[in-house]
Structure 1
């Protein structure tokens, strides 16, 4: 009995508290008075202008201008709404009006709300605005709001800047307290990663209406209004002139160029080719242009090769492999190996063309001439550190390697990125099976091939760590917000690698020799000192990728650069000159080596990219030779679209048409597509 009484008392107390709370909210607060369903009080949103985006030198890259749109809130529509007069006012037909209303409801789907204002007409002209504003008071369900429209003052760097677009339901759910259908938000680049800073704070004005829905002034003299705040201005770490120059050097090439200030981690340039002109992201046709970029399977311009594309880093990886080996204590700066035209294991070998044959060489000479044998022997020692326990050895190697920022997203402020890959024992156990792999299974890791993958940004970062003799700052794209330098500890505090400072000198000496008399001697100049390393990354689909890392000046580094040119061949041919020219532009303000510059800009690999694409289409049975008769081309398209027959059967039929070189309609029509 006592328990029953206790439960009754508890329920009574909670019910009393609930009633008091309801009474307080309804009688003593304004929350429900200001609800959109209250037709006597109308909320008008003010969308702030987005903040400006500037480069490190104050050059305005992106700005905002006000635009106006008409919004619709269904709950506020009068029962005697005059559809025809409204349509005449906004210059649309009744059919258009009905279509627009139905489209808004369909777009909102299950989340559509009669209480929420939806964008009805975008981009009102000044003439429309003046005409509509004068009589809009008659139509309580419609309001005019100001919205920001982006202006791009540059013709490149689209991969960095990104774009804004209308939010979808998923985006709204991510921050339902701010976004409403029809609002704009950053969808890529800096616009996305710094959205909350750039967007500002919406203003809300509560307008009181009389019984005829006419405005009679602010509700309670604006006591509950929310003041609008313009978005914050963003100053990028990018030097736009340097960015534009790097993009120019990548003309008719694919790849990425990343330049970092090793003293603070600021990204000075991050070029990705093909280059995107951000002006395509504005205007009435922007969605069409965005879609065209997204579906361009050949060039993939929306794929940021500087931050997303993971490549085998090739011989540039030898630098960190050597450092990790010294830290693990398996070699030191005096360790020598003898190269016999390559590294031999069983009946296989990794060829080498260093030129230091049958002579003991140390690490600096091995770096200078990029000796494959030296670093293969070094990797064998790494994996043999713990006899009969290769898993422990590779895990230690992997752990130290990852301290250079490879194999991880790096926790930077970019909108996109790639982890890359630094394998460990678990990775190989999954791939090959436990105890089914050994040193020679993965020996290609020694020269930056095999399973090693890194983005140009990651490669530039480990180059910056080498420049600093063992530490780096997380690479970041923003320098200041509203004029105040960034203060995030992630960006302003150094990250130390797990390699002691004492081991770096011989690596830096070797890199200097690369430029003075080694594989990168083509880029030598008396204007400034350089340290570099060539890399040639093997590619199964065509020519090797050309890779180069550079530090300049050698004595007091101000810039660390990584360049990847897809299918560019030897690292010193294209990637090396691009890195050196970018450094010259940044350090001196101009470029004197005009002949080198001209030869790089003129280099064109489009034919190689086209060949690879055609080879891919042939492999999947989608290639149509240009010299085939039109009837044959049409028949191939018909076959490609036919899903009643298997993929292999479609390929077989296509090959039949191509190989028979059909030229007449009767021959082509013999192909039967009804076979299962």
Structure 2
């Protein structure tokens, strides 16, 4: 027993010695506690670094910096004889507003009499020039220069993102770096590469007298830390292509995504509607952000990045993956012929044959719904009496293409879409293990032709196409090419992902894609300057007109670009999404847009009437619809016109007419 007590005593003694040694080290050999003990006389001042510049792949500056000015307030420095009215005149505010601002500052959670708090922000250089000559009379108020983003482009707001003040959750997550009033990347590249872009704050320890006046650096600045500017980032984006895609998405909802299939680099990530990133800066910033986030008219949701967040039925573009899975599972080959002479008929359901009973390549060429319906039934029935096992094997193959899964890349947002499992259909069929007899009821047969329960994002469509034309492999799509001039070090983008499909099965699929362009559903888009592999898609949706979808890879013999385009409620794939994808490929491969009519067709088109019709139907269903008066309808038409008009003189006339009507009818507020 004594030996046990002795062991315990020795252990406690060792712990005490370690504690004393550590405490002695901190007190005698570091300034950590000295600074804390003297915090009434030694103040920490931070120097905010410039954020890194964002370039496109060709060196074009997309996001830079400009000075932004604020006025800070420190309660402890307020003089007893502070002249409120004179200060209000200087700042061009009234006394009640001054009192309101001061009270709101004092009510902030992190308020301290000794800590400078933001009194007023987003002041112009002219305002600062006027104020700085007089503000010395008010020591409680100080001019603070804080870098603000400057956008050199007028599109791609979702892709680039924005910065804003840290919130409470962000402060808790990284309290070692961020302080109240600091800015942080909230969305897009600004968010996903925040740690690289933000840099490192400079730190200065300043000695203060009893009145908090500076009397010099603490220890001659030996403890100060230099500010480190944020790292510059070069995106994989080709902004010329990106802008072109965004222009084609005006007055449309959907997305266009383009990748380099050999590297996984994202060349285009355009979404409609687009956001002008200049709305993220300036005195109207808060109002603009609120308006963008609350804008749901016609289901526009501009802050919803449809290129990676919207999951769509992929339509006939998915038939390529159905063919790959069917051949890999051994339930079909390129010579398999399904009985499509009279179409597919089951329990009153009829699916057209599109070309009759033909093998795989012609079925891809003409996009036979019947053929790929039979193909998916063969996948389900691979294991008789156990369709769940067949569907799960199919799902595993689909996952190897990166569909139905998060792509685990460097984008701030994303959706995994949906590839249903066998369990999914068991539950839908009331727990039946053999649910194949009910496949028309549960919609599973439509998966083969990209309808049913399959949902893919445009990014996943492009990536799956890259895996097909690479004959079974892909690199994870990513948006950053280099950081501070050095290749992106993220190991995720160096891994070659291999699908579960044997490379030999992609040969007939690619022949079918080539036939689509040469003599199939996309023959009108054939180019004389480069070869293409493509697949059209026209996905039925319950709200209204079909979604127009198109995937493309070019040139056919050695693809350098793959593109997926989705136009919501536009109609046929070859009519709308196809020309957009083809125009992007042509510009990228030839350096010029030779068939300008493809671009102009998209730029001049608007699907807003269809979106408006659907919106009205939805409001009526909810009992919220009110018939607009005549002037409201005219104003809405003028607003729609304003979005596409380029001539400034015509724009001015439209705005004047809108404001006149609004004034007459007392509708909303004047147009800015």
Is TM > 0.5 for Structure 1 vs Structure 2?
Answer: yes
TM-score band, normalised by shorter chain: 0.7 to 0.9
Structure 1 residue 336: deviation in Å? 1.7
Structure 1 vs Structure 2 CA RMSD: 2.7
Change (3 A) 1:526 1:78: closer
Change (3 A) 1:117 1:407: farther
* 1:167 maps onto 2:154 in alignment: no
Aligned equivalent of 1:447, options 443, 446, 449: 449
Residue in structure 1 matched with residue 270 of structure 2 by the alignment? 271
Aligned equivalent of 2:430, options 433, 438, 441: 433
Residue in structure 1 matched with residue 339 of structure 2 by the alignment? 338
Structure 1 residue 104: deviation in Å? 2.5
- Report the secondary structure of 2:452's partner residue: coil
Residue in structure 1 matched with residue 239 of structure 2 by the alignment? 240
Aligned equivalent of 2:529, options 527, 530, 534: 527
Separation of aligned partners in 2, 1:182 and 1:36 = 25
Separation of aligned partners in 1, 2:611 and 2:126 = 49
Structure 1 residue 627: deviation in Å? 4.7
Separation of aligned partners in 2, 1:525 and 1:373 = 29
1:177-224 per-residue CA deviation (whole Å, 9 max, x = no partner) reads: 111111111111111111111111011111112344332221112111
Higher mean C-alpha displacement, 181-190 vs 80-89: 80-89
Structure 1 residue 594: deviation in Å? 2.7
CA contact (8 A) 1:475 1:491 kept: yes
1:487-539 per-residue CA deviation (whole Å, 9 max, x = no partner) reads: 22211221111111111000000000000000111101111100100111111
Aligned equivalent of 2:503, options 493, 498, 501: 501
Residue in structure 1 matched with residue 254 of structure 2 by the alignment? 255
* 1:550 maps onto 2:552 in alignment: yes
1:110-149 per-residue CA deviation (whole Å, 9 max, x = no partner) reads: x555665432332345566567767878877665443111
Change (3 A) 1:83 1:426: farther
- Report the secondary structure of 1:615's partner residue: helix
User: Gaps spanning 5+ residues in structure 2: where?
Assistant: 633-672
Structure 1 residue 425: deviation in Å? 1.6
Aligned equivalent of 2:383, options 381, 386, 402: 386
Q: 1:273-312 to 2 correspondence within 5 Å? A: 273-298=272-297, 299-312=300-313
Structure 1 residue 362: deviation in Å? 1.4
Change (3 A) 1:80 1:603: closer
CA contact (8 A) 1:33 1:41 kept: no
Residue in structure 2 matched with residue 176 of structure 1 by the alignment? 175
- Report the secondary structure of 2:614's partner residue: helix
Residue in structure 2 matched with residue 407 of structure 1 by the alignment? 404
Change (3 A) 1:376 1:115: farther
CA contact (8 A) 1:320 1:401 kept: yes
CA contact (8 A) 2:122 2:282 kept: no
Residue in structure 1 matched with residue 625 of structure 2 by the alignment? 623
* 1:364 maps onto 2:361 in alignment: yes
Separation of aligned partners in 2, 1:487 and 1:21 = 38
Q: 1:209-220 to 2 correspondence within 5 Å? A: 209-220=208-219
Residue in structure 2 matched with residue 327 of structure 1 by the alignment? 328
TM-score scaled by structure 1? Answer: 0.86
Structure 1 residue 403: deviation in Å? 0.7
Structure 1 residue 102: deviation in Å? 2.6
Residue in structure 2 matched with residue 58 of structure 1 by the alignment? 59
Residue in structure 2 matched with residue 668 of structure 1 by the alignment? none
Change (3 A) 1:582 1:32: same
Residue in structure 2 matched with residue 38 of structure 1 by the alignment? 39
Separation of aligned partners in 1, 2:36 and 2:126 = 32
- Report the secondary structure of 2:562's partner residue: strand
CA contact (8 A) 1:36 1:116 kept: no
* 1:417 maps onto 2:418 in alignment: no
Residue in structure 1 matched with residue 352 of structure 2 by the alignment? 351
Residue in structure 1 matched with residue 668 of structure 2 by the alignment? none
Residue in structure 1 matched with residue 393 of structure 2 by the alignment? 396
Change (3 A) 1:431 1:204: farther
Structure 1 residue 82: deviation in Å? 4.7
- Report the secondary structure of 1:506's partner residue: helix
Structure 1 residue 554: deviation in Å? 0.2
Separation of aligned partners in 2, 1:523 and 1:424 = 37
Separation of aligned partners in 1, 2:279 and 2:79 = 43
Change (3 A) 1:36 1:547: farther
Q: 1:221-236 to 2 correspondence within 5 Å? A: 221-236=220-235
Residue in structure 2 matched with residue 84 of structure 1 by the alignment? 83
TM-score scaled by structure 2? Answer: 0.87
CA contact (8 A) 1:87 1:94 kept: no
Separation of aligned partners in 2, 1:344 and 1:559 = 39
